[in-house]
Structure 1
Amino acid sequence: MTIAVIADIHGNAPALEAVLADIDGRGIRDIVNLGDHLSGPIDPARTADLLMAREIVSIRGNHDRALLTLTPDAMIATDRFTHAALDERHRAWLQSLSPTRHLQEHGLFLCHGTPESDLVYWLEDLTSDGVVHRADAARIERLAAGVEAPVLLCGHTHIPRLVTLSDGRIVLNPGSVGSPAYEDDAPVVHKVETGTPRASYALIDRHADGRTDVTFRLIAYDHASAARLAEQNGRPDWARALSTGWM
C-alpha cells in the first residue's frame, strides 16, 4: 500500500493542486495531511475547498489552532488575513480536526510538531543564535517515547527529513506543500529555508513483510502565480519565499 503524506500547505492552493495532481497521476488514493492547512496570504478559502472536497485524513496544526482559538486582534498578520478569508463552513471543518491521529491499520501516528506539542520542532533544533540544524538522536528518541507505531509523521518545520530510530521506527517530515521558507521569532529569531520553490510531499510504501520505503517528491508548479497573490495581498516577504525558497 502506498500512502501520500502532505503537510504545511499554508493556503497555497496552486501548490496543493499540483501535488494532488501528482498523487492522482500515480493512482494513489490514501492521503494523510499533517496540519497548517490554510494560514497564508495566498488563497486560504480555495485551499479549504480543495481539502474539504477530498477524503483526506487531516489533523490540526498550530496555525489551525490559532485560527480557532484567538481573536483576530490577537493573531499574527498572516492568520488575521486567513481568518477574514474563511467562512463558517471552513472554520467548522478545522474545528472537526484533532491535534493527533493514530491510524493503527496503517501503522501510522500523525502529529504536527511532536506527539505532545504542535509548536515544538521534532527533527530540527536551534542554536542560541538561531541556526537551524538536525536535532540530536537522543532528543528525537526522547520525543518518540511511548508512541506505539512503526511510522511517526510530523510537519511544522517545512524541511523534508527522515530519521530511523534505534528500535527501527521511523520519523518522517514530508516537507511543506506551500511554504518553502519562513522566519519565526520563537524560541529565538530564526529562518527556515529549503532553497527551492518546489512543493514538497512524501510517499510511504508499506510492504506485507514489514518493510517501509519512503520517497520524497519535489513538485514544480506555477509558484510565480502564488508569489503574485502574496505580493497583491501585501506580503513581499512571502512572495520572495515562494519565488526562491529563501527569505
Structure 2
Amino acid sequence: MQFAAIADIHGNHPALAAVLADIRAQGISDIVDLGDCFSGPLGAGKTADLLIPFALPTVRGNHDRYLIEQKPEAMHASDKVAHEQLLPHHLDWLRSLPTKLVYQEEAYLCHATPGDDNLYWLESVAPEGHVFLKPQEEIEALAEGIDFPLILCGHTHIPRAVRLSHGRLIVNPGSVGCPAYNDEKPYPHKVETGHPMASYAILEKSASGWTPYFRNVPYDHMAMSTLAKANGRPDWAAALATGRMPPF
C-alpha cells in the first residue's frame, strides 16, 4: 500500500501543481490532504479550482476554519486576502470538510491534533522562541485512544516522523506552499525549513510497517514571492524566496 500526503498548501497554486505532478511521476494515484488549503496572500481561487476537483480525502485546518467562521473584517491579513478570491462553492467545500478522518482503515488524519486544530503536536515552543521536538510523553498523550498504525498531521509545516508506542508512527509531511512563518502563540517564534521548495510525503506500507519518504519539489517560488510582496506581505515574500523569516 502506498499513498501521498500533502498539507498546508496556503493558496500556493504553482507549488500544488508541482507537487501533484511529482506524485504522478512516482506512479502514485492516492493522495490525502491535511488542511490549510487556501489561506495566504497568493492565489486562493486558483488553488481551489485546481484542488477541489480531485476530491481528495481532506481534513479541515485552522485557517480553513477561519475562512468560514470569521467575518472578513475580523480576519487576519492572510485569511482576508484569500477570502476575497474564494467563490461561494469554494467556501461550501471548506464547510463540508471533517476535522478528522480515517483513511483506508490504516491512517488517522487531522490537521494539528485530534482535539485542537491550532496546537502543535510534535513541536513545543520555549519562552525565548526556540522551537524543539516535544517530549515523547506529551506526544503520546495527544495520541491516546488513536489505535491506528499511521497518524498524519500538518500545521507546523515541519516535515517530521516520530515513532510512538506499540509501533505507531506519526508523520507531518511538511508544507506544500509555505516553507516558513512567524507566530505569536504560545510565544513569539519562527518556523523555518531553510529552503523554498514545496514539501510532501509518500507513505509506504511493507511487512515491517509504514515508512515515510519526504520529498522536496522545486517550482517557480520567486513568482510567488513577488506576488506576496505585491499583496503587502514582505514576510511571506521572504519565506517563499528563502525558506527563512526576516528578523522580528
Pairwise TM-score range, normalised by the shorter structure? over 0.9
Residue equivalent to 1:215: 213
Superimposed CA distance per residue, residues 196-236 of structure 1 (whole angstroms, 9 cap, x where no aligned partner): 001100000123x3521210001111101111111111111
Offset at 1:55?
A: 2.9
Superimposed CA distance per residue, residues 113-168 of structure 1 (whole angstroms, 9 cap, x where no aligned partner): 11111000000001112210110101011111001211000000000000001211
Identity of aligned residues (%): 51
Residue equivalent to 2:154: 155
- Tell me, in whole angstroms, the C-alpha distance in 1 between the residues paired with 2:209 and 2:118: 31
1:101 to 2:101 alignment: yes
Aligned-CA RMSD value: 0.9
TM-score w.r.t. structure 2 length? Answer: 0.97
1:145 to 2:144 alignment: yes
Residue equivalent to 2:130: 131
Superposition pairs of residues 107-118 of structure 1, within 5 angstroms: 107-118=106-117
Superposition pairs of residues 142-221 of structure 1, within 5 angstroms: 142-207=141-206, 209=207, 211-221=209-219
- The residue identity in structure 1 corresponding to 2:230 is Q
1:224 to 201, 208, 222: 222
- The residue identity in structure 2 corresponding to 1:222 is D
- Tell me, in whole angstroms, the C-alpha distance in 1 between the residues paired with 2:223 and 2:53: 23
- Tell me, in whole angstroms, the C-alpha distance in 2 between the residues paired with 1:43 and 1:139: 36
Offset at 1:195?
A: 0.5
Residue equivalent to 1:88: 88
- Tell me, in whole angstroms, the C-alpha distance in 2 between the residues paired with 1:178 and 1:87: 21
Residue equivalent to 1:240: 238
- Tell me, in whole angstroms, the C-alpha distance in 2 between the residues paired with 1:40 and 1:136: 31
- The residue identity in structure 1 corresponding to 2:200 is Y
- The residue identity in structure 1 corresponding to 2:219 is Y
Superposition pairs of residues 70-89 of structure 1, within 5 angstroms: 70-89=70-89
Closer/same/farther in 2, CA of residues 154 and 161 from structure 1, 3 Å limit: same
Residue equivalent to 2:37: 37
- Tell me, in whole angstroms, the C-alpha distance in 2 between the residues paired with 1:102 and 1:168: 18
- Tell me, in whole angstroms, the C-alpha distance in 2 between the residues paired with 1:239 and 1:106: 40
- The residue identity in structure 1 corresponding to 2:25 is G
1:67 to 2:67 alignment: yes
- Tell me, in whole angstroms, the C-alpha distance in 2 between the residues paired with 1:200 and 1:181: 12
- Tell me, in whole angstroms, the C-alpha distance in 2 between the residues paired with 1:55 and 1:206: 23
- The residue identity in structure 2 corresponding to 1:168 is G
Superimposed CA distance per residue, residues 38-92 of structure 1 (whole angstroms, 9 cap, x where no aligned partner): 0011100010111112131111000000000011121111101111111101001
- The residue identity in structure 2 corresponding to 1:205 is E
- Tell me, in whole angstroms, the C-alpha distance in 2 between the residues paired with 1:222 and 1:14: 7
Structure 2, unaligned runs of 5 or more: none
- The residue identity in structure 2 corresponding to 1:94 is L
Offset at 1:106?
A: 4.3
Structure 1, unaligned runs of 5 or more: none
Closer/same/farther in 2, CA of residues 17 and 185 from structure 1, 3 Å limit: same
TM-score w.r.t. structure 1 length? Answer: 0.97
Give SS of 2:67's match: helix
Aligned length: 245
- The residue identity in structure 2 corresponding to 1:137 is Q
- The residue identity in structure 2 corresponding to 1:38 is F
